[in-house]
Amino acid sequence: MSGVTEWEPEAENWVRWARQPGHDAYWYYRDAFFDLIPPAGERTIELGCGEGRVARDLFERGHRVVGVEPAPTLVRHARDADASGSYVVADGAAVPCTKGAFDLVVAYNSLQVVADMQGTVKEAARLLRPGGHFCATVSHPAMDLGRFVQGKSEMSFTIRPAYFERRRVDDTLEMNGLEVTCRGWTYTFEDYFVAFERAGLVVETMREPRPSTTSGTFERWQTVPLFLMVRALKPR
Ligand SMILES: C[S@@+](CC[C@H](N)C(=O)[O-])C[C@H]1O[C@@H](n2cnc3c(N)ncnc32)[C@H](O)[C@@H]1O
């Protein structure tokens, strides 16, 4: 379970990074994600919940949420911030919950991070009742393929050629005095969509949202998609 070893040492940095309002991309993309997800049913589960901000936002929108996260320090922070919530230390590919117990499974910015992406999608399908939905946000494969380069007068986006090559992501981000190291993998569109297909999930729709800000650090993501958002159905 490499997710535990990799994210546990970054836990305190991640909490500071994730909880600073307006600091990271979450604040400019979450509305697009919440527009994609179905109305609250009886039970929702989030795989890779971190310190719990998505679970808390879902709760505010009427969801009863279980948060699943392998890093114990992040689960402790999630519980401290939400005493009435339910948080479990577990791998997203092996969740100690009953088959078919959830109307909605959410994976926000975690499928490209988990040790076993296909296994986690399969686990999402197992946890869903027939007719339930799986909603995921991942790093957009186009974003993984390139980087912004500041030219003399304008910014350009430079693409590397090996789209099909699966690469390790190990990026230390620094912004406004905060720092965090994010680790995971790059995937192609096909990797994700085949994982959904093999898990028996039918993709209903997808989004390539632009940030809800047209200034500051995230303005450049008006031109290239930072995230891919998908809603899939477990057929009855
Ligand atoms: C980029 S953070 C996103 C956290 C949260 N969803 C949010 O948006 O604030 C990715 C999370 O995935 C978790 N993770 C890593 N490996 C995992 C695994 N095998 N199963 C479930 N989650 C995992 C990390 O510990 C981390 O909390």
Contact 211, 28 (CB under 8 A): yes
For residue 193, which phi and psi values (nearest 5 degrees)? -70, -30
pLDDT score, position 1: 43
Q: How far is the CA of 156 from the centre of ligand 1 (A)?
A: 30
Asked, for residue 171, whether it belongs to a domain, the answer is no
Name the residue with the closest Cα to ligand 1, atom 14. Answer: 48
Whether 109 lines ligand 1, by a CB cut-off of 6 Å, is yes
Asked, for residue 174, whether it belongs to a domain, the answer is no
Asked, for residue 90, whether it belongs to a domain, the answer is yes
CB-facing half-sphere around the CA of 88: CA atoms within 13 A: 14
Q: How far is the CA of 39 from the centre of ligand 1 (A)?
A: 24
Contact 132, 234 (CB under 8 A): yes
Q: What is the CATH number of the domain that holds 116?
A: 3.40.50.150
Asked, for residue 181, whether it belongs to a domain, the answer is no
How many domains, the chain?
A: 1
The one-digit pLDDT tens for each residue of the chain (236 residues) are 444 578 999 999 999 999 999 999 999 999 999 999 999 999 999 999 999 999 999 999 999 999 999 999 999 999 999 998 999 999 999 999 999 999 999 999 999 999 999 999 999 999 999 999 999 999 999 999 989 998 888 888 998 888 999 999 999 999 999 999 999 999 999 999 999 999 999 999 999 999 999 988 899 999 999 999 999 999 99
pLDDT score, position 4: 53
Contact 69, 108 (CB under 8 A): no
Q: How far is the CA of 107 from the centre of ligand 1 (A)?
A: 8
Name the residue with the closest Cα to ligand 1, atom 1. Answer: 109
Name the residue with the closest Cα to ligand 1, atom 13. Answer: 48
Q: How far apart are CA 42 and CA 170, in angstroms?
A: 37
Asked, for residue 115, whether it belongs to a domain, the answer is yes
Asked, for residue 71, whether it belongs to a domain, the answer is yes
Q: How far is the CA of 158 from the centre of ligand 1 (A)?
A: 28
Q: For 52, left (φ over 0), alpha (ψ -120 to 50), or beta?
A: left
pLDDT score, position 131: 98
Q: Looking at beta carbons, which pairs linking 145-149 to residues 24 or more positions away fall under 8 Å? A: 145/186, 146/224, 148/220, 148/224
Name the residue with the closest Cα to ligand 1, atom 26. Answer: 50
Atom of ligand 1 minimally distant from the CA of 51: 9
pLDDT score, position 2: 45
pLDDT score, position 155: 85
Q: How far apart are CA 236 and CA 213, in angstroms?
A: 39
Name the residue with the closest Cα to ligand 1, atom 18. Answer: 114
Asked, for residue 176, whether it belongs to a domain, the answer is no
Give the domain extent around 61.
4-140+187-233
pLDDT score, position 154: 85
Asked, for residue 52, whether it belongs to a domain, the answer is yes
